[in-house]
Amino acid sequence: MASAQLPVLMIIDDDPLITETLHFVLSKSFDVYVAESRTQAKSVLRQLDQPPSLALVDLGLPPVPHKPDEGFKVIGELLAHSPTMKILVLSGQNEDVNVKHALALGAVDFIAKPCDVERLQGILQNALKLQDAELEEVSNPTENYGLLGESQPMQALRKQISQFADAPFPVLIEGESGSGKELIASSLHRMSQRSKQPYLSVNCAAISPMLAESILFGHGKGAFTGAANSHTGYFEDAGEGTLFLDEIGELPLELQAKLLRVLENGEYQRIGETQTRKSKARIVAATNRDLREEVRLGKFRIDLYHRLSVFTIDVPALRTLEQDRYLLLEHFSQFYARETGQKPFTLDPKAKQRWLVYHFPGNVRELRNITIRLTAKYPGQLVNEQQLSSELDLMEIAESNEALNMADDNALSNHAHRHLQTEANINLDQVLKAWEKAYVNAALKVTHGNLSQAAKLLGINRTTLYSRIQIQEEYKE
Ligand SMILES: Nc1ncnc2c1ncn2[C@@H]1O[C@H](COP(=O)(O)OP(=O)(O)OP(=O)(O)O)[C@@H](O)[C@H]1O
């Protein structure tokens, strides 16, 4: 019998040998749920009363088990479902680039297969302990409601929060994953005159579309099969407090109409009842999608978008917060050292430089996770640039290539610098050939294979282009 007291752990892996063994061993300490694919994981999540505290995720999952893409998507979806979940990657596909990308997406750590079960137990217990400490920190934030940062965009953000806290309109919070939207929603509540009233948070991505209406608005007795008693919904439970609708872009279209009505006049009905009720709750919504684009695609109602977006808070991405990256590092390295009974690590000057130019695609959540790993690996030690780089996402190089301005010497040399730091065994000839090939192919694509035009585009003559293509072909063979 699964005990309600045990923390919930979800294992997502398509290898039955792994899932069965882990289920057997870990069931003593965890309430274990297993899924073999991303689709199955979603349906298991929807059946659970409370989100899992922990997840163990394989990267290569069906329908493309030889690639990490499904695993990457699972990480995003799990965090969308429950932002405080601790996700560990358990993977045989431990090429650096994959593992680091998974970490940047929000996983706390990775464990290479085959894994030592005892070590795994320890890692899971440790993640759980940190999660408890983090939840406690959020419920007891000291200054600024836990929102750290002194940079100009953070100061502007705080000002906006205090301006909007008591405004009689909903607030829409837009920002990348891990940038602090949930923290901002709770700050809006705590700063408002409603702070003594309930603060309820519902993740629209996490509720089944079938049950969403009942969850939000409640139902009357006998409203549908299985509705033995009447039930209040979130709007009712929130009373005069704040209702935070996270991932609002995921709300089914039919419910968007009902939400619009509540926003317009506060009115709603429980399913199966004719009595109209009034909600006095303040609505705060958040999204990491571009809602204007969702409107354009017909997935989000334009009238609802206009209602929600009267007051919009645009949360800055961590990479735009300059020295805050360092301030957050200091804060979290102290925090995790304290929580794990270790001495904090410190970055040496070069590592510090690297930290300050890193892109942080997963924002503050990624920063926290990097800090957790560095605390575990280098307690009380000085971390050098190479040690730090091996914790950072390599895919940023691929992305930064796109934004590279060839005319800008600095951008090029920064790019080269990062490339050298993050990839072992670079061969300059191969790098240059790869660039040449990319340009030649692009020119041929743009000109639909017309050699003369492609040569013109590239600023070389036709025969030179022809011989370069031949060299490339020979090189390929
Ligand atoms: N400015 C900040 N100061 C301190 N902690 C922060 C800050 N911003 C974010 N965090 C922390 O980073 C983590 C991610 O933040 P949060 O869950 O609020 O992000 P989010 O934008 O809601 O992400 P998602 O879209 O994935 O749900 C949390 O642990 C949060 O406490």
Q: Is the distance from the beta carbon of residue 364 to the nearest atom of ligand 1 less than 6 Å?
A: yes
Check residues 141 and 266 and name the one with the higher pLDDT: 266
The residue nearest atom 13 of ligand 1, judged by CA position, is: 365
Q: pLDDT for 290-312, tens place per residue?
A: 898 899 999 999 999 999 998 99
Q: pLDDT for 153-170, tens place per residue?
A: 999 999 999 999 998 899
Computed over every residue of the chain, the mean pLDDT equals: 87
CB 6 within 8 A of CB 29: yes
Q: Is the distance from the beta carbon of residue 182 to the nearest atom of ligand 1 less than 6 Å?
A: yes
Q: pLDDT for 343-371, tens place per residue?
A: 999 999 999 999 998 888 889 999 999 99
CA distances from 53 to 45, 87, 128, 278, 396 (A): 12, 9, 7, 35, 29
What is the value of pTM for the model shown? Answer: 0.73
Residue 10 DSSP class: E
Which of 155-164, 225-234, 237-246, 403-412 is least confident? 403-412
Q: Hey, CA dihedral for 133, 136, 142, 144, is it positive or negative?
A: positive
Whether the predicted pLDDT of 74 surpasses 70: yes
Whether the predicted pLDDT of 424 surpasses 70: no
Over residues 88-97, mean pLDDT:
82
Q: Is the distance from the beta carbon of residue 288 to the nearest atom of ligand 1 less than 6 Å?
A: yes
Q: What percent of the chain has pLDDT over 90?
A: 52
Give the mutation target among 84, 313, 329, 364 for probing the ligand 1 site: most ligand atoms within 8 A of CB.
Answer: 364
Chain centre distance of CA 14 = 23
The residue nearest atom 27 of ligand 1, judged by CA position, is: 83
Give the whole-angstrom CA distance, residue 473 versus residue 263. 63
Give the mutation target among 84, 155, 183, 289 for probing the ligand 1 site: most ligand atoms within 8 A of CB.
Answer: 183
Whether the predicted pLDDT of 446 surpasses 80: no
Which of 10-19, 91-100, 301-310 is least confident? 91-100
Over residues 176-191, mean pLDDT:
93
Over residues 119-126, mean pLDDT:
92
- Burial letters for 267-293: b for 16+ Cβ neighbours within 10 Å, e otherwise? ebbbbeeeeebebebbbbbbbbeebee
User: Does the bond joining 83 to the residue before it have cis omega, within 30 degrees of 0?
Assistant: no
CA 315–ligand 1 middle distance (angstroms)? 10
Residue that has been written with the tokens 């999540």 in this structure? 45
Q: Supply the DSSP string of 120-165, one letter for each residue.
A: HHHHHHHHHHHHHHHHHHHHS--GGGG----SHHHHHHHHHHHHHT
CB 201 within 8 A of CB 246: yes
Q: Is the distance from the beta carbon of residue 258 to the nearest atom of ligand 1 less than 6 Å?
A: no
Q: Where are the alpha helices (DSSP H) in 393-476?
A: 395-402, 409-422, 428-446, 451-458, 462-476
Whether the predicted pLDDT of 4 surpasses 60: no
Over residues 265-282, mean pLDDT:
93
Give the whole-angstrom CA distance, residue 216 versus residue 236. 8
Give the type of residue at 121. Q
Cα first-last separation, the chain: 61
Whether the predicted pLDDT of 265 surpasses 60: yes
Which of 12-21, 76-85, 194-203 is least confident? 76-85
Q: Is the distance from the beta carbon of residue 362 to the nearest atom of ligand 1 less than 6 Å?
A: no
CA 265–ligand 1 middle distance (angstroms)? 32
List phi, psi (to 5°) of 474.
-65, -40
Beta strand 277-278 pairing with 267-268: antiparallel
Taking the CA atoms of the chain, what radius of gyration do you get in angstroms?
A: 25
What's the token pair of residue 434?
């790869």
Give the mutation target among 179, 246, 313, 366 for probing the ligand 1 site: most ligand atoms within 8 A of CB.
Answer: 179
pLDDT the model gives residue 137: 75
Check residues 254 and 244 and name the one with the higher pLDDT: 244
pLDDT the model gives residue 1: 43
For residue 39, name the pLDDT band (cuts at 50, 70, 90): very high
Residues contacting residue 466 through CB under 8 Å, at least 6 positions apart:
451
Check residues 221 and 353 and name the one with the higher pLDDT: 353
CA 178–ligand 1 middle distance (angstroms)? 5
Residues contacting residue 147 through CB under 8 Å, at least 6 positions apart:
141, 154, 157, 158, 161, 180, 183, 184, 187
Whether the predicted pLDDT of 281 surpasses 90: yes
What's the token pair of residue 108?
């706390």
Give the whole-angstrom CA distance, residue 408 versus residue 431. 19
Give the whole-angstrom CA distance, residue 475 versus residue 203. 53
Which of 39-43, 112-116, 158-162 is least confident? 112-116
Nearest atom in ligand 1 to the alpha carbon of residue 134 is: 29
The residue nearest atom 10 of ligand 1, judged by CA position, is: 180
User: Does the bond joining 141 to the residue before it have cis omega, within 30 degrees of 0?
Assistant: no
- The count of residues in the chain is 477
CA distances from 225 to 4, 24, 120, 228, 275 (A): 26, 36, 43, 8, 20
Whether the predicted pLDDT of 338 surpasses 70: yes
Over residues 236-254, mean pLDDT:
93
Residue 250 DSSP class: G
Cα angle at 454 between 449 and 456, to 5 degrees?
155
- Roughly what angle, to the nearest 10 degrees, separates helices 324-340 and 363-377? 50
Check residues 115 and 373 and name the one with the higher pLDDT: 373
Give which of 132, 149, 207 is closest to 183, Cα–Cα: 149
Q: Is the distance from the beta carbon of residue 365 to the nearest atom of ligand 1 less than 6 Å?
A: yes
Q: Is the distance from the beta carbon of residue 186 to the nearest atom of ligand 1 less than 6 Å?
A: no
Q: Is the distance from the beta carbon of residue 148 to the nearest atom of ligand 1 less than 6 Å?
A: yes
Whether the predicted pLDDT of 398 surpasses 80: no
CA 10–ligand 1 middle distance (angstroms)? 22
CA 137–ligand 1 middle distance (angstroms)? 13
User: Does the bond joining 65 to the residue before it have cis omega, within 30 degrees of 0?
Assistant: no
The residue nearest atom 5 of ligand 1, judged by CA position, is: 147
Nearest atom in ligand 1 to the alpha carbon of residue 324 is: 1
Whether the predicted pLDDT of 201 surpasses 50: yes
Nearest atom in ligand 1 to the alpha carbon of residue 154 is: 1
pLDDT the model gives residue 31: 95
For residue 37, name the pLDDT band (cuts at 50, 70, 90): very high
CA 370–ligand 1 middle distance (angstroms)? 14
Residues contacting residue 143 through CB under 8 Å, at least 6 positions apart:
none
